[in-house]
C-alpha cells in the first residue's frame, strides 16, 4: 500500500494548472483526460516526488459539482495504491468502516472510497492497480524572481478533534510508522503529531485543550474535520514570498519559530483554488523528508 496522489477539486482546470505551473516546479504527467465515471475530467503533475491531481466537473450533477457546491474548491481526496484490494476493503468493512462509491471496469481495475464519516473527515480512495509511472527526486528547483529555490512537498495536514483517536484508526487499518508523537505545535494554540504511510508524511493537528481559541478550532467550527493544508519546504523563503506577492498572491499566517528562527508563511486558499499552502524555510535541505 502506498500513497499515489492528493486530489484537488477545481472549477477551472486550465486556470488552476497555470497557477501551479507559474509558482511551483511541476512536471506534468497527464493533461485533461476523462475520468473513469465519465462525469469529470482530471490532470496530474509532480512537485518533486509528490503527485497532485486536479479534478473538474464534466457533467451536471457530477460528484465534483456536488462537492464544489457544498465545500468549494480545495483538497478532495487522498488516493492509495492497494494491490491486495479485496482483503483491505473486507477488513475495513468488518471493522465497521463505511465503504462507498465502488467502481470496477475489470479484474484489476477496481476502486472504492472510505467515507469521510468513517475517517475523521478525510475521503480516502483505494485503487487496486495503478499504472507504472516515472520516479522523481524529492527535491526540485524553481526560479522565484532571480533566485533558484529548492522545493519539496513535506506533508499533508488533517485537522481533527482527537489526535489519539485518529492515530488509533490509522494504526488499526494502515501500515503506518509514527514520526512525531503528539505535542504542542510551534505556537501554543494547537497540538500535532505525524506519521508515515510508505514514506508519505501525514500530519494531524488539533486544538490545544489548554488554549480556548485558535486557528484549528476556528477551522473545525466552520469546516469540520478533514484536509487542512499542504506543507512545502523551501531553502529560501524570502524570494518565494516576494515573487508570489508581486504576482498578486495573498500571503497570510507568517510566523518565526523562536527556538531556531525558522520561518513559515501560507498562501491564502483564496489565491490557490481553495488549497491552503504552507511554506517552511529549511536552509539545509536534502532529498530526505524530515520529521519536523
* pTM for this model (two decimals): 0.95
Pairing of strands 200-207, 190-197: antiparallel
pLDDT in tens, 5-60: 999 999 999 999 999 999 999 998 888 899 888 899 999 999 999 999 999 999 99
The ranges assigned to domains in the chain are: 2-127, 140-281
* Residue carrying the nine cell digits 488509533: 168
Rounded average pLDDT over 206-223:
95
Q: How does the average pLDDT of the chain come out, rounded?
A: 94
Q: Which CATH superfamily is domain 140-281 in?
A: 2,3-Dihydroxybiphenyl 1,2-Dioxygenase, domain 1 (3.10.180.10)
- Domain 2-127 and domain 140-281, same fold? Reply is yes
Rounded average pLDDT over 58-65:
95
Indicate the class that CATH gives domain 2-127. Answer: alpha beta
Helix axes 163-173, 85-94, angle to 10 degrees: 130
Query: Is the predicted pLDDT of residue 291 greater than 70, yes or no?
Result: no
Q: What pLDDT does residue 286 have?
A: 56
DSSP H/E element including 216 = helix 215-223
Residue among 18, 9, 16, 6 at smallest CA distance from 49: 6
Pairing of strands 183-184, 226-234: unpaired
pLDDT in tens, 182-195: 999 999 999 999 99
* CA pair distance 150, 279, nearest whole angstrom: 12
pLDDT in tens, 231-279: 999 999 999 999 999 999 999 999 998 888 899 999 999 999 999 999 9
* CA pair distance 51, 124, nearest whole angstrom: 15
pLDDT in tens, 98-136: 999 998 877 778 999 999 999 999 999 999 977 788 899
* CA pair distance 83, 73, nearest whole angstrom: 30
Sign of CA dihedral 240, 246, 250, 251: positive
**Lowest-confidence segment of 72-76, 99-103, 126-130, 167-171 by average pLDDT:** 126-130
* CA pair distance 234, 269, nearest whole angstrom: 19
Amino acid at each position: 500500500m502506498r500513497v499515489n496522489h492528493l486530489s484537488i477539486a477545481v472549477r477551472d482546470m486550465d486556470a488552476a494548472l497555470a497557477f501551479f505551473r507559474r509558482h511551483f516546479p511541476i512536471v506534468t504527467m497527464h493533461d485533461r483526460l476523462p475520468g473513469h465515471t465519465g462525469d469529470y475530467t482530471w490532470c496530474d503533475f509532480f512537485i518533486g516526488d509528490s503527485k497532485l491531481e486536479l479534478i473538474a466537473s464534466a457533467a451536471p450533477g457530477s460528484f465534483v459539482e456536488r462537492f464544489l457546491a457544498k465545500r468549494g474548491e480545495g483538497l478532495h481526496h487522498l488516493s492509495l495504491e492497494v494491490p491486495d484490494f479485496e482483503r483491505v476493503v473486507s477488513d475495513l468493512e468488518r471493522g465497521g468502516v463505511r465503504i462507498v462509491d465502488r467502481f470496477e471496469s475489470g479484474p484489476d481495475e477496481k476502486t472504492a472510497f472510505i467515507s469521510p464519516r468513517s475517517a475523521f473527515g478525510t475521503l480516502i480512495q483505494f485503487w487496486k492497480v495503478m499504472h507504472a509511472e516515472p520516479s522523481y527526486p524529492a527535491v526540485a528547483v524553481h526560479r522565484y524572481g532571480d533566485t533558484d529555490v529548492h522545493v519539496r512537498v513535506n506533508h499533508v495536514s488533517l485537522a481533527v478533534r482527537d489526535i489519539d483517536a485518529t492515530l488509533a484508526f490509522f494504526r488499526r487499518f494502515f501500515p503506518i510508522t509514527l514520526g512525531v508523537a503528539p505535542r504542542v505545535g510551534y505556537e501554543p494554540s494547537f497540538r500535532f503529531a505525524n506519521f508515515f504511510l510508505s514514506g508519505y508524511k501525514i500530519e494531524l493537528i488539533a486544538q490545544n485543550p489548554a488554549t480556548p481559541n485558535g486557528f484549528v478550532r476556528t477551522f473545525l467550527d466552520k469546516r469540520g474535520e478533514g484536509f487542512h493544508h499542504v506543507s512545502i519546504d523551501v531553502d529560501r523563503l524570502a524570494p518565494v514570498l516576494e515573487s508570489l506577492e508581486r504576482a498578486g498572491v495573498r500571503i497570510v499566517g507568517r510566523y518565526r519559530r523562536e527556538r531556531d528562527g525558522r520561518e513559515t508563511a501560507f498562501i491564502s486558499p483564496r489565491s490557490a483554488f481553495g488549497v491552503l499552502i504552507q511554506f517552511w524555510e529549511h536552509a539545509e535541505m536534502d532529498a530526505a523528508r524530515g520529521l519536523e
